Structure 1
């Protein structure tokens, strides 16, 4: 519909095969955006895209490993080539591997840094010129970049040192980039969800995984759709409004 808030806009969502990414892609499509979904799992990606298309909305899926700079560049370029522009980037792809530093492998740390930091930087670097161009030519007169961080970017806890590193760093990067792109009419925002009932916890094994699952089960966690609603709120504001930072905790969450 022409009166949808994101009518005519193009959105790129990373980590879009499940959880927050999938929910956000569905919600942005309902608001009128054509959506490019990016993830590693082809089967899950196709399932989400199919669901969006059944609602009469436009979506495509790209299977990609964003930790490789050339692939990140290609994903952004394919989005622009196929859909004509890029108005909204949602950097959601990430992984959480918890455990005490003494008993955690460097390989696990490297996996988190590769996706949560390097992958996000690669996509952002490729996307920013297109976002600037769209802000200058769009009827909305603004473009949006939203980084999905975490309460772990605000509160450090034992067993999550490198995950904290990636999210604290993401918050600082977002604020600096926000200031750089103000004059280009590209809004840069960070959203920090608390405990969300998604597959992120399922990546954890053994004692750490069991403890994390008990923590999630001990409260009424946020749903992926709750976070998608918050992201959609950010990117559908009038151009005069910038929601720079949004902290969304489960109501019963104390940390």
Structure 2
């Protein structure tokens, strides 16, 4: 028997586009109170306005996930507005893949800061709140790249393996009243491939993403994990396009 997400407070990072935006819309439609966070506040305000017109409840807050004070502030904003925080979706991420030999060290640093530290800062902000209310759910968006490594994905895959390791450690440490879920998408139509700075890899990514699925496919998995009874913890879901072989 599933439970309703009606009135659950869900904070989502990287919510200005892609999976984060889609998740905010789906969860709000299902009755959740959503807190959208990202750096592009103009996009957030537009999405929040559309959610409200559709009858949902939503607020937007600016967030740089690489700033630990920002993370605390957005969690505090969720609690101040809605009284609690039931679910944190650590969705913000970057995919700056390139061969190691290209030495794109700034890209490596950015992926570590956003993909790993961003998740840790979100947990650091949310965990005290969830422990105080004796309930909560942290959902971390990893990737199929967190299960396999291919040419040019060494650092990106490393960050996504780290997300899975952090999520499993969190599951073991958080206690019986706080749940941990990893969502690992394959090729999904988002802005991630647009950020690739390696010309050769960016061109190769076009072929892989030719069969990519819509970002709208991922929120249903998030919703499924949230809707399970409190004593059921869905630890990981992998979602690929049917045509994706790797």
Q: TM-score range by the shorter chain?
A: over 0.9
Alpha-carbon shift at residue 135 of structure 1 (Å): 4.0
Aligned to 2:52: 53
Distance 1:4 1:239, change over 3 A: closer
Mapped partners of 1:23, 1:96: distance in 2: 19
Mapped partners of 2:133, 2:5: distance in 1: 13
Name which of 193, 196, 200 aligns with 2:192. Answer: 200
Count of residue pairs brought into register by the alignment: 244
Aligned to 1:235: 226
User: Mapping of 1:116-135 within 5 angstroms?
Assistant: 116-135=115-134
* Cα deviations by residue, 1:192-251 (Å, 9 ceiling, x for unpaired): 11110111111124222111112111xx32211111111111111111321111111111
Aligned to 1:30: 29
Mapped partners of 1:48, 1:200: distance in 2: 19
User: Mapping of 1:190-229 within 5 angstroms?
Assistant: 190-205=182-197, 206-217=199-210, 220-229=211-220
User: Structure 1: 5+ residue runs without aligned partners?
Assistant: 137-142
TM-score by length of structure 2 reads 0.95
- Deviating above 3 A after TM superposition, structure 1's stretches of 4 or more consecutive aligned residues are 133-136
TM-score by length of structure 1 reads 0.92
Aligned to 2:78: 79
8 Å contact kept, 2:3–2:227: no
* Cα deviations by residue, 1:149-176 (Å, 9 ceiling, x for unpaired): 0000000111011101100111111111
8 Å contact kept, 1:4–1:31: no
